[in-house]
Amino acid sequence: MIKKLLIANRGEIACRVIRTARELGIETVAVFSDADRNAMHVELADQAVHIGAAPVGESYLLGDRIIDAAKRTGADAIHPGYGFLSENPDFVDAVAKAGLVFIGPSADAIRAMGLKDKAKALMEKAGVPVVPGYHGDNQDAGFLAEQADEIGYPVLIKARAGGGGKGMRLVEKPADFADALASAQREAQSSFGDPACLIEKFIQNPRHIEMQVMGDAHGNVIHLFERDCSMQRRHQKVIEEAPAPDMPEDVRQAMGAAAVAAAKAVNYQGAGTVEFIVDGSGPLRPDGFWFMEMNTRLQVEHPVTEEITGFDLVAMQIAVAEGQTLPVTQDQITATGHAFEVRLYAEDPSNGFLPATGTLDILDFPTADNGVRVDTGVRQGDVISPHYDPMIAKLIVTGPNRNAALLKMSKALEELVVHGCVTNRAFLSALVIDADFAAGRVDTGLIDRKGADLTARPDPTANTLALAALAAVRPADAEDPFANFRLWGAARQAVTFEGDPNISIFVETTATETKVTTPLGDLTFSVVAQNGPELLVEENGVKSRAIVHKTGHGVLVQTAGHDRFFKFFDPSASASSAKAGALTAPMPGNVIAVVAKAGDSVSEGDRLLVMEAMKMEHAITAAQDGVIAEMLVSEGDQVEQGALLVRMQEDE
């Protein structure tokens, strides 16, 4: 029996494992880097051990330090979570050599499935359908380009190691292949230490459907139904659901049988996910899905499976690792209802989903009383750093059917309040009410096709301007009966927010009502109630609810699916030092490639350099035609958001 468990991870998944371990009466040990010294998972664990500096290569990827921490604290077993060392067979071997239990599959199973090219060859032998493509060892760029020509465009370049969308590029024409391959190889090397890639035919109108499997040490393997993970941007999942919409029973059975066969082919033990690419051009059919890869670990989206089946997958992982037999057979597993999970990220959807950093000044989740499960590893006041994945939390809801669950998710996102860094909350709200998504017409290209609409930031209205100004002038003690008292009439105050031009608003307040004069129109409010950041106002007989929160820098206004931060105008602030034609860093990160130099003539859209943030590459391109006057960074530099990167020559 496992009595003490070390979690070799951080953030949300570490907190998730700790919760189940606590329910099982198992003590827990956390590990942490310099950046995570005061993190939530450290606070929740019974013990915590410092393992190094903030970069993952100096802390969470150092298996020897993690094993040493387990020995020092008397842990019996190690749970790897997902990411980091979770699919590293050498780490699994080292854990076993140290006399500890690894909560996961064997090193041999991880090796068999860890490299996509070898895994696909193995799957072909096991009778599992695979996508046509080149899965060999020859990594010569010219040879791979020839293979792409033979396969036929569009093709997908995929890192053979790892997952999470890293090292993956869609190439639609031969002219783009060389740059895409080089970029995928760099990202694969950075993320997984292996630059090798494979080339596959890109399936048109693809859906991404995966099967959750679980195996034990006695040769038993089951599946716990499917999850649809088609809602993706840049090959990374955004929304997952279970079961998949419009999934015929014969396809479910065929896919489940293929997933079980895949797991049995490597004598799989523990939790795993077999991922399939599915032809979504028409109704799903038994011969219209192909094996992509197997993730030999727990998945980020595992909660939706837990919600419809009623099983705690972490508890099952631990039981299997203890040598227990699976608690159920395949015919005893049933699914009830429909579940959704959305991933709340610190990122800017309106700027290519670039990752963001900042302090979570406000973090107010919907409660379990409202039927919302929140899996998170951060709290209000925590910092989202550039060192790790930018996910803030997962919101999970379950309903009796898909429509009911979708409505519940829309409401949960409306109630969620987060401020301090840019997030994808409004984008998620727009996505869950999208007509195609709501109707179950899903495929991996939906977000790209509708990106402009889904990421649009509507211009402020008179109502939102008025609410911002109202929040700006309301006293901290909103119930103070003398707050708006003036001996000679109404209190008149002015608020100016930054804009182009700046936005000046006048607020006249009496004991009974407030008149707000904005550039877009005048409104007269009466404040019905205020509960923390929630403000209920009445205007022309219509009551409405909004979230308003004043900080030292401005006011956050959140209504339905939209949020906007109005920054106070500071007349003493100096003008930006950036000159016309200069390019600045859109996020904090590392410069990993410089492809242009001073004196080069460039055209709008030309790649000038490449930055890496949170293990993802981002190309910095010329905003206009011109000549580079100065390249201000070099390969290997680490820069902050807003730092000057390139200066262009000014027109004479």
- Looking at residue 458, the DSSP 8-state letter turns out to be P
Q: Which residues contact 487 (CB under 8 A, 6 or more apart)?
A: none
For residues 372-406, one letter each, b for 16 or more C-beta atoms within 10 angstroms of the residue's C-beta and e for the rest, the string is bbbbbbbeeebebbbbbbbbbbbbbbbbeebeebb
| Residues forming a β-bridge with 491 | 509
Measured CA to CA, the distance from residue 574 to residue 564 in angstroms comes to 24
Residue among 68, 108, 76 at smallest CA distance from 89: 108
| Cβ-proximal residues to 500 (8 Å cutoff; 6+ apart), any chain | none
Contacts of 354 (CB under 8 A, 6+ apart): 347, 348, 586, 587, 613, 618
The torsion angles phi and psi of 68, rounded to 5 degrees, stand at -60, -40
> CB burial class (10 A; 0-12, 13-18, 19+) of residue 501?
exposed
Catalytic pick from 252, 297, 373, 425? 297
SS (H, E, C) 330-392: HHHCCCCCEEEEEEEECEEHHHCCEECCEECCEEECCCHHHCEEEEECCCCCCEECCCCCCEE
Q: Which residue has the tokens 């070099």?
A: 634
The number of CA neighbours under 13 Å toward the Cβ of 625 is 0
Answer yes or no: 297 catalytic. Answer: yes
Distance separating the N- and C-terminal Cα atoms of the chain:
77
- According to DSSP, the residues that pair with 241 across neighbouring strands are 228, 340
Residues recognised as catalytic: 297
